[in-house]
Every structure is written in structure tokens, then in C-alpha cells.
């Protein structure tokens, strides 16, 4: 590396000194090359530069649009709205406080936030909400969050979307998904809803029927452990309960069959 006065050059931790005349010649050549670079003008016209910037900007926007689960917001004239703050169609901020959960592409809420929602703390900012319990029926019947709906198949999500076409505008309604631990079944159907919702709107990106959806972090187990008085009945049946081994095989088989039929 050359020193600031070009008199010393270091190689692999060692150093060697040049005589003053050699250093002066090298320094003069360096300054000459630097000045030439500063005086060099762009050969492209302002119009071409503008088109290039627009093309690059359009390309970066198209990449950003598909970076994640679908939470890329709308653009404004000045800059992009915050992806962490605005819902998936960019129309308004999220109503509920979110946390960095196990699935970073999904917006997660805590059991305490779910409890506050049930208690009416967010009634001033939320018109309506639906809790989608993605566990199997025997788990749901054994104990679930009050007013939750049992949807454990993709066809149940299709029916939910079909209902929105009949009811009209649902963009103000929020959806909270969960399963036993919110590790697999809940996140899977949460992503499925967003994917189908995008497909239904085709080129009308980023419009959605349900732009604000959440995942309950820790699932029903976590919620039950801290807020069981919000469950009905007040009980918790694990998926792998010894009494329901046949039910586990049945519902897993049903889910696999549906997947194969959809792929064909």
C-alpha cells in the first residue's frame, strides 16, 4: 500500500523505501491520471441517462414486489411506505402491534395482544376480526379461543374467499390464524389465503380482500397457558393425544389426498 506522500510502499506487512526521484515520478503520474478522470465527460445524453434510471427503478420495483409473502406496500411519489408499518395493500398501518415471530414473512401477534383484542381494547380501530383455528376438529372441539372458526383444509380457505365475493368489501376485516403451536398448519393456511387472494385480483396488484392478516405466535397452547378463561371449553387437547391416534391418521390422510388432487 502506498503511503500518503508516495515515498513508501508496503507489501505483506513489510515495507521498502524508494528514492525521492522515483517517488516524485509515481506521484506525478498518479495525479495526472486522477485529473484526467475528473475532466472526462459522460458520453451519454441526459435523455438516455433518464431512461436508464427509469428502467433501473422499474426493475428494482418489480423485484421488491415479490420479495416476500406479499407485504410489499404501495409506492408514493417520494418513497416507499414502510414495509414494517403498512398492511399488504399499502392503504393503512397495521392495527395490532406485531412481533418478530418464528415465521419472519408473516406478521405475528402475542397471546397478550390476542387477549386484548378479545377484551375490546382495539375496537376503536378495528371494525371486525375472525380467528381461524387450523387444528383438527377433535382438537378444536376439545377447547378453542372464543368465537374461533375451525378451518384446517385449503378448501375451507377457498370457501372463506368465496364468501367475501358474496358479502362485498372485506378489506377492513382482519384475520388471525393459529394452530397448536403456530409452527406448520397455521402458517401454511395463512400463506395459502394470501396466495389465493393475490390470484383473485390478478393484475390489480396490490389490492386484496384481506390485506391485514396475522399469525398468533405460540399458537393455542401458548394462549391457553396464559389466558385459558378466554377458551371454550376451558381445555386443551394436543394433536398427538393418545386417545386420538386414529383421528390423526385420518385427517393427515385427508390433507394429503387433497394436495394430490390439487396437483393433478
Query: For residue 126, with 0-12 CB atoms within 10 Å meaning exposed, 13-18 middle and 19 or more buried, which class applies?
Result: middle
C-alpha cell of 58?
422499474
Phi, psi for 28 (deg, rounded to 5)? -65, -40
Q: How many CB atoms lie within 10 A of CB 258?
A: 13
> For the chain, what is the total number of helices (H) and then of strands (E)?
8, 9
Concerning whether 179 is annotated as a catalytic residue, the answer is yes
Q: Is the peptide bond before 206 cis (omega within 30 degrees of 0)?
A: yes
| Total residues belonging to the chain | 264
Q: Show Cβ contacts of residue 3 under 8 Å, excluding neighbours closer than 6 positions.
A: 9, 10
Q: Is the peptide bond before 233 cis (omega within 30 degrees of 0)?
A: yes
Cα–Cα–Cα angle for 11, 17, 20, rounded to 5 degrees: 140
| Alpha carbon distance 8, 24 (integer Å) | 12
Distance of CA 90 to the CA centre of its chain: 13
Q: How many CB atoms lie within 10 A of CB 142?
A: 18
Q: How many CB atoms lie within 10 A of CB 180?
A: 24
Phi, psi for 176 (deg, rounded to 5)? -120, 120
Given 151, 179, 190, 222, which residue is catalytic?
Answer: 179
Q: Would you please indicate which residues are annotated as catalytic (active-site) residues? A: 179
Amino acid at each position: 500500500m502506498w503511503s500518503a506522500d508516495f515515498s513508501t510502499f508496503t507489501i505483506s506487512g513489510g515495507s521498502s523505501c524508494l528514492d525521492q526521484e522515483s517517488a516524485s515520478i509515481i506521484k506525478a503520474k498518479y495525479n495526472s491520471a486522477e485529473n484526467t478522470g475528473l475532466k472526462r465527460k459522460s458520453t451519454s445524453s441526459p435523455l438516455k441517462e433518464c431512461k436508464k434510471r427509469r428502467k433501473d427503478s422499474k426493475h428494482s420495483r418489480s423485484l421488491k414486489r415479490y420479495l416476500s409473502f406479499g407485504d410489499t406496500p404501495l409506492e408514493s411519489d417520494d418513497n416507499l411506505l414502510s414495509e414494517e408499518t403498512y398492511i399488504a395493500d399499502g392503504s393503512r398501518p397495521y392495527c395490532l402491534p406485531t412481533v418478530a415471530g418464528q415465521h419472519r414473512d408473516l406478521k405475528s401477534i402475542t397471546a397478550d395482544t390476542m387477549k386484548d383484542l378479545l377484551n375490546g381494547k382495539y375496537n376503536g380501530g378495528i371494525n371486525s376480526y375472525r380467528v381461524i383455528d387450523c387444528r383438527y376438529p377433535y382438537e378444536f372441539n376439545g377447547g378453542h379461543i372464543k368465537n374461533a372458526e375451525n378451518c384446517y383444509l385449503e378448501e375451507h380457505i377457498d370457501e372463506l374467499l368465496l364468501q367475501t365475493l358474496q358479502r362485498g368489501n372485506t378489506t377492513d376485516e382482519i384475520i388471525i390464524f393459529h394452530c397448536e403451536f403456530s409452527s406448520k398448519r397455521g402458517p401454511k393456511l395463512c400463506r395459502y389465503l394470501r396466495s389465493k387472494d393475490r390470484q383473485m385480483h390478478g393484475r390489480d396488484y396490490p389490492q386484496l380482500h384481506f390485506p391485514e392478516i396475522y399469525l398468533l405466535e405460540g399458537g393455542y397452547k401458548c394462549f391457553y397457558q396464559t389466558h385459558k378463561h378466554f377458551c371454550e371449553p376451558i381445555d386443551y387437547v394436543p394433536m398427538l393425544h393418545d386417545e386420538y391416534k386414529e383421528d390423526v391418521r385420518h385427517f393427515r390422510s385427508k390433507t394429503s389426498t387433497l394436495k394430490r388432487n390439487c396437483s393433478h
